[in-house]
Amino acid sequence: FEMVGSSKTKRANVRLISATNADFNTLIANNDFRQDLYFRLNTVELHVPSLKDRKEDIPYLAQHFFNNVCRKYHKPSRELSNNALDKLQQHSFPVNLRELSHIIERALLLNRDDCITADHLNLNGEAKSNIASPDQLPLMTIAQAERKLLTMALTKAQGQSHEAANLLGISKSSIYRRMEKYNIVAKHFLENK
């Protein structure tokens, strides 16, 4: 190939693999995708049926995602129960593999049980979340929230500003600047011992 603006020929050995749920014939007909580019890229075309049309693959894919998430987050290997697999196979999966992957990841991250069951799966938002909805959150300004976080961290650190900085994930100079900004004195938190 030659780079744009260059006459020097370069060699590359690549294979481009891509996936889409788009209908290229429609995209090309509507001039939303260049026909010449399509024919340059389209060496081999594979049609993979939707996950809802191959339910028998769900247990294998779920276990694959399960193992990947355990490795990714350094979680001990846990069991995926049969009732969880049954529930996954009954789901329609309108979003396909990405949805399955996220369901498994969410179940593993939000639960500490040794076995992930059907109750741990959040399909279509059916599981109750312990996260407050926006209308349940108390309104406060950014400054109020920052001040509250500072006082909470200093209380927990018993007035040790360097320890409070570590708890908040900020530098010592940052916590000192913020304490000065909000007139917070670290020694007032020493009494909480």
pLDDT digits (tens, 9 = 90+) for 84-118: 999 999 998 877 888 899 899 888 888 878 888 98
Which residue shows structure tokens 């690549």? 14
Give first-to-last CA distance, the chain, whole Å.
71
Binning pLDDT at 50, 70 and 90, where does residue 119 land? confident
Contact 21, 51 (CB under 8 A): no
pLDDT at 129 over 80: no
- The CATH number of the structural domain formed by 51-120 is 1.10.8.60
CATH for 135-192, among 1.10.10, 1.20.950, 1.10.510, 1.10.3470?
Answer: 1.10.10
Which pLDDT tens digit goes with each residue over 141-164?
888 888 888 998 898 888 899 888
Residue 73: is its pLDDT beyond 70?
yes
pLDDT of residue 19: 82
The residues facing 2 across adjacent strands are 9
- Mean pLDDT, the chain, rounded, equals 85
Q: Which of 57-66, 123-132, 133-142, 153-162 has the lowest mean pLDDT?
A: 123-132
CATH 1.10.8.60 residue window(s) in the chain: 51-120
The percent of residues above 90 in pLDDT, for the chain, comes to 30
Q: How many CA atoms lie within 13 A of 51 on its CB side?
A: 19
Cβ 117 vs Cβ 81: under 8 Å: yes
Q: Does 191 have pLDDT greater than 60? A: no
Between CA 183 and CA 167 the distance in angstroms is 20
Q: Please state the pTM of the whole predicted model.
A: 0.52
CA distances in angstroms from 192 to 11, 62, 146, 176, 187, listed in the order given: 69, 49, 20, 20, 10
pLDDT score of 63: 93
Looking at the chain, which residues constitute the CATH 1.10.10 domain(s)? Answer: 135-192
CB count within 10 Å of CB 58 equals 19
Q: Give, in degrees to the nearest 5, the angle at Cα 29 between 23 and 32.
A: 75
Q: Dump pLDDT digits (tens) for 7-54.
A: 999 999 988 888 888 888 999 999 999 999 999 888 888 888 888 889
pLDDT at 193 over 80: no
Distance CA 99, CA 104 (A): 9
CA–CA distances in Å: residue 124 to residues 43, 53, 102, 161: 37, 19, 12, 44
Find out whether 160 and 172 touch, Cβ atoms under 8 Å: no
